[in-house]
Amino acid sequence: MDKVVKSAAEAVADIPDGAVLMAGGFGLCGIPERLIAALADQGTRGLTFISNNAGVDGFGLGILLDRGQIKKMISSYVGENKEFARQFLSGELEVDLVPQGTLAERVRAGGAGIPAFYTPTGVGTPVAEGKEVRHFDGRPYVLETALRADFALIKAWKADRHGNLVFRATARNFNPMMATAARITIAEVEELVEPGQLEADQVHTPGIFVQRVVLGSGYEKRIERRTTRPRS
């Protein structure tokens, strides 16, 4: 089945107001920037995003925050974005702050069909408030539930027309697990090849998890913060 769509706009056209979405990436590395921009242009509102972070001001998910399209963030890092902080402190934005490893495992569990799991992370902190705590081998563990979404927006390096994906270096981050944990997964890619051109053992995400593929170009690949020191 050829899963390639003509444009990012076409790929996100059926995402409705109030949808729950996952967005791959870590900081600005490996984010689905073309799909996010298309969603911003579409004007879809009341969105819940599951993402490690919320981009930066004016880029990545920051674009959607600037336009008031996100109502809730489920994430593990909330720095580098002044508009995020403003909306959170003013009560405009609901935030579910999740430890990073727990967020990754909640998404992985959602893709694997595991409804919940126990973890020691967060025991005795506000993270555990209202959640079941059990002891195993004398150690307390808090129950965390899996995460799933209506749509996953992910970024890959290369894909074939059947939706088999290859990620590159650290851009792999949250993308592969999110591809498995949504009803519809939309992948934007930098390079598109024909079926059979990817070696089977090179594929990171099999096409069975991907419903749509869109070819992007001209990626900025920004760095959130560059720290340098004077040359000696």
The Cα 112–Cα 110 span in angstroms is: 5
pLDDT digits (tens, 9 = 90+) for 28-44: 999 999 999 999 999 99
- Mean pLDDT value across the chain: 95
Give the per-residue pLDDT at 230. 87
pTM over 0.85: yes
The rounded radius of gyration (Å) of the Cα atoms in the chain is: 18
HEC readout, the chain: CCCECCCHHHHCCCCCCCCEEEECCECCECCCHHHHHHHHHHCCCCEEEECCCCCECCECHHHHHHCCCEEEEEECCCCCCHHHHHHHHHCCCEEEECCHHHHHHHHHHHHHCCCEEEECCCCCCHHHCCCCEEEECCEEEEEEECCCEEEEEEEEEEEECCCCEECCHHHHCCHHHHHCCEEEEEEEEEEEECCCCCCHHHCCECHHHCCEEEECCCCCCCCCCCCCCCCC
Domains of the chain: residue spans and CATH: 8-119+147-215 (3.40.1080.10)
Tell me the percentage of the chain whose pLDDT exceeds 90. 89
pLDDT band of 79, cuts 50, 70, 90: confident
pLDDT digits (tens, 9 = 90+) for 94-124: 999 999 999 999 999 999 999 999 999 999 9
Whether pLDDT at 229 is above 90: no
Give the per-residue pLDDT at 227. 81
Instruction: Give the residue from 219, 214, 218 showing the smallest Cα distance to 185.
Output: 214
Give the per-residue pLDDT at 98. 95
pLDDT band of 178, cuts 50, 70, 90: very high
More confident of the two residues 230 and 197 = 197
Give the per-residue pLDDT at 23. 98
